[in-house]
């Protein structure tokens, strides 16, 4: 019984001591939503940095709904920053009577214009001239280049190499456009087309219209 009385007296005295410690009235649970405007609508922003200017070690990031919640003090300045958006500073009012504060913060998109940059394989034109003149082209490489650029090789490649997707799509689009252009009407005759006459005369000179028997 004596031990129980001592323990009870200790607990009561501890409670009195705890009650005598005043609560910090400057602490605030600071929460809110971070939004941006797109095409006239407010869109939540995720992964926005929300931290205190006075102490950069204290901070959070908004979730996928743009929500954040952090403990701060009245009068502290909060910074909202995100890539592609203008940074905003907001000071928690020091005249708050409650220990909770909620707000909506809108961030404006920020356009950053980068200077134009040119990338060259050589530092300057003078270096290019030096490297180009010092280039060693052997007779073997020259012979291979001449052989690959021969007219008969190029003509054979034109006939044998298949068209890629872009060329096929372009040919199909032009063919359909020509078909739609003359839709519902007669196609014009090439009797007055000088290009068609030129092709006809060249074919006649080359003997393309000769019969197999005469050949």
Question: Which among 67, 60, 65, 69 has a CA at the least distance from the CA of 33?
Answer: 67
Structural domains present in the chain: 27-106 (2.60.40.1120), 126-209 (no CATH)
Beta bridge partners of 139: none
Judge if pTM exceeds 0.75: no
Half-sphere exposure of 120 (CA within 13 A, CB side): 8
From first to last of its 215 residues, the chain has per-residue pLDDT tens of: 545 554 445 444 445 444 444 566 889 999 999 999 988 899 999 999 999 987 767 889 999 999 999 999 899 999 999 988 999 999 999 888 889 999 999 999 887 777 888 777 778 888 888 888 887 778 888 888 888 888 888 888 878 888 788 888 888 888 888 777 766 666 666 666 777 778 888 888 887 777 655 54
* Distance in angstroms (rounded) separating the CA atoms of residues 36 and 45: 7
pLDDT of residue 137: 75
- Report pLDDT digits (tens) over 7-55: 445 444 445 444 444 566 889 999 999 999 988 899 999 999 999 987 7
Cβ atoms within 10 A of the Cβ of 133, count? Answer: 7
* Distance in angstroms (rounded) separating the CA atoms of residues 66 and 44: 5
Q: How far apart are the first and last CA of the chain?
A: 135
pLDDT of residue 50: 94
């Amino acid at each position: 019984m004596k031990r129980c009385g001592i323990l009870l007296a200790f607990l009561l005295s501890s409670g009195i001591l705890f009650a005598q410690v005043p609560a910090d009235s400057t602490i605030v649970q600071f929460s809110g939503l971070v939004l941006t405007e797109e095409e006239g609508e407010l869109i939540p922003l995720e992964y926005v940095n929300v931290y205190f200017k006075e102490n950069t070690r204290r901070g959070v990031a908004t979730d996928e709904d743009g929500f954040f919640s952090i403990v701060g003090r009245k009068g502290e300045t909060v910074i909202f920053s995100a890539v592609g958006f203008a940074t905003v500073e907001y000071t928690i009012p020091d005249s708050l009577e409650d220990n909770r504060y909620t707000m909506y913060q809108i961030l404006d998109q920020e356009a950053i214009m980068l200077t134009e940059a040119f990338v060259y394989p050589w530092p300057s034109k003078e270096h290019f001239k030096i490297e180009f003149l010092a280039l060693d082209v052997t007779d073997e490489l020259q012979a291979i280049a001449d052989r690959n650029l021969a007219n008969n090789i190029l003509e054979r490649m034109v006939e044998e190499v298949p068209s890629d997707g872009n060329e096929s799509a372009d040919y199909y689009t032009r063919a359909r456009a020509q078909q739609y252009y003359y839709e519902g009407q007669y196609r014009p005759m090439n009797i007055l087309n000088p290009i068609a006459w030129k092709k006809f005369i060249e074919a006649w000179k080359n003997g393309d219209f000769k019969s197999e028997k005469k050949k």
